[in-house]
Structure 1
Amino acid sequence: MVSTNFANYSPLYKQQCQNVKLIESAYDSIEKKVKEAIKTEDKNEEVVFTRLLSNITVIWMEASILKICYDNNYFTEEDILKIRESQSLEQRITSLINMAVCKRHNIPFTRKQLDTELKYTERARYKGLIQLIQEDFTESINIRNKIAHGQWKFAYSNGSNALDEIVTAKINSENIVGIQLKRNLFKNLMELIQHIAVDFDKYDSTFDVMYEKIEGYKHNKEGRNYKEYKNKLIESYKRGMVRKKESLSRSAV
């Protein structure tokens, strides 16, 4: 973020910072609950708190979008209302990117994508951001929407009373490892978008490094093994319990 005296920011930005901070605290608390459930091999609790962790991750994204809107008074009130009036969260984040890019390049704002309006390098970067939203963020939104509507075990098709087997499988395959990687991906994505709005020089100089990080998280999502992570937590917990019992036994002598 640009080095600016926090006191100079608008009340709305300061308020939204508090919203984001509270959500981040909630994420940390829920993540601890998931780990505790894994260690104690409480499968039901793990499922419950994993659903909540998945939900809070997308909630954080939604709150972060509004935080960027209020940051540094870059967007006018009319701009922000246009972004907030988008019908879906996916459209909201796309509108945020479009508006920020339009402002930076003095292009009249449009809700449509900017494929034909930008020079090659900027167009390639823009397409990369939009692709991330379409490939990674949209899926998380769909899962969050099902969870938010009480479809925690079985998800149903929109517009028909039928089981959506694809989304059901995705919901039930969610785990802490995948969610952690997605959260890191989203954090880097939001930082890039923030740089467009408030520090374009930094966006220009750090884009390649940050985008490589995001691609790394995407690759790790496929390669990082949840079962190994789970087994390590369980084994570590068991060893800790053994040491605790041994310590108590020695104290009792």
Structure 2
Amino acid sequence: MDREKRHRAHIRNMEALEMSFEVASRSCKEAIRHGDEHEIIALTRTCALLLGATLEDRLMTIISSPDFPESSEQRVMGKRTVLEMWNQVLVEAFSVRYNVPRSKIPSALPYTSAAYFTGMKSVVDDWMESLINTRNCLAHGQWIVAFNEQRSSVNQERTARLNALTLWHLRLQKNMLRHLERLIFDLTVTQYAFERDFDRHWANLKAAQTRISSDKSKEWELLLQSRHQRGKGYTKRNYRQLIDAGLL
């Protein structure tokens, strides 16, 4: 398959994954409103699996783009893990934009550009690895208990991470991915937009990170449930008023 066809195929896959995440997310929100714990767990893990897959397919979409050098794509594909691939994307993109050898990224970059690189790499390293590991656990059928790489014993850290998954966190992570992808797009395609718009995208990324750290997921879930209960109350009162008025 030639590169252009692969790129179009990755875009179609990404669009399907985005739609699937939104469908599962809406169903999960409805389960949260009703307080159905079994559905919440199943759908939250489904959303995590879909977001992890989206993370990988967005990577494939970026590197197969005609704006990303084919030699760079080959070097990215030569990496062993998805996390290493994302980090190599940053190295390749900064190397091309600032005409600096890959081996000297970020040390030979101008000061501000090096700060851009370090910031973007920190986003990749700080939250992508956790999401990738969680996706791998789920893809290997480890939906309740996560194992080590050899599947010889329980991995307590990964199991705890599964139990800590919430839709609120996943939606914020999806938002972070969108802003990171936009930065990489500007870095590889545009002439001025990367430097011009970096602070705005970075502020959005940091805002999402701050909200994740503050962990308001329980408050958000309680808000959904309270709104649902108020809605049920309104429906009952309206129904009673219609009966009393002889309209039903």
Task: Normalising by structure 2, report the TM-score.
Answer: 0.89
| Structure 1 gaps, min length 5 | 1-8
The residue number in structure 2 matching 1:140 is 131
Report if the CA contact (8 A) 2:100-2:109 is conserved.
Answer: no
1:208 matched to 2:202? The reply is no
Shift of 1:244: 2.5
Equivalent residue letter for 2:113: E
Work out whether 1:80 is the aligned partner of 2:73: yes
1:46 matched residue in structure 2 = 40
Alpha-carbon offset, residue 107 of structure 1: 3.0
Q: How does 1:81-96 map to 2 (within 5 A)?
A: 81-96=74-89
Q: Per-residue CA shift, 1:113-154, capped at 9, x if unaligned? A: 713221211111111111111111111111111111111111
What is residue 26 of structure 1 aligned with on the other side? 20
Residues 45-54 or 149-158, more deviating:
149-158
- Displacement of 1:105 after TM fit? 2.0
Give how far 1:17 is off.
Answer: 2.5
Of 50, 56, 63 in structure 1, the residue corresponding to residue 50 of structure 2 is 56
Gaps of 5+ in 2: none
8 Å CA contact retained: 2:10, 2:57: yes
Q: SS of the residue aligned with 1:239?
A: helix
CA distance in 1, matches of 2:4, 2:133: 33
Asked if 1:180 corresponds to 2:174, the answer is: no
- CA distance in structure 1 between the partners assigned to 2:211 and 2:99 by the alignment: 38
Give the distance between the partners of 1:27 and 1:69, measured in 2 at CA: 22
Change (3 A) 1:200 1:47: farther
TM-score normalised to structure 1 length = 0.88
Aligned partners of 1:40, 1:139: CA distance in 2, in Å? Answer: 29
Identity, in percent, stands at: 21
Q: Secondary structure at the match of 1:161?
A: coil
1:16-75 CA-to-partner distances (Å, cap 9, x unmatched) read 32222211111110101111111111101100000011111121121111222233x223
Residues 1-253 of structure 1 mapped to structure 2, 5 A cutoff: 10-71=4-65, 73-110=66-103, 114-159=105-150, 161-252=152-243, 253=246
- Deviations along 1:156-215, one digit per CA (max 9) or x if unpaired, are 122462221112111101101111111111111111111111114111111122112211
How large is the RMSD of aligned CA atoms in angstroms?
Answer: 2.0
SS in 2 for 1:154: coil
Between stretches 10-19 and 123-132, larger displacement belongs to: 10-19
Matched length: 242
For residue 6 of structure 1, what is the aligned residue in structure 2? none
* Residue type at the aligned position of 2:140: H
Find the aligned partners of 2:151 and 2:26 in 1 and give their Cα distance: 37
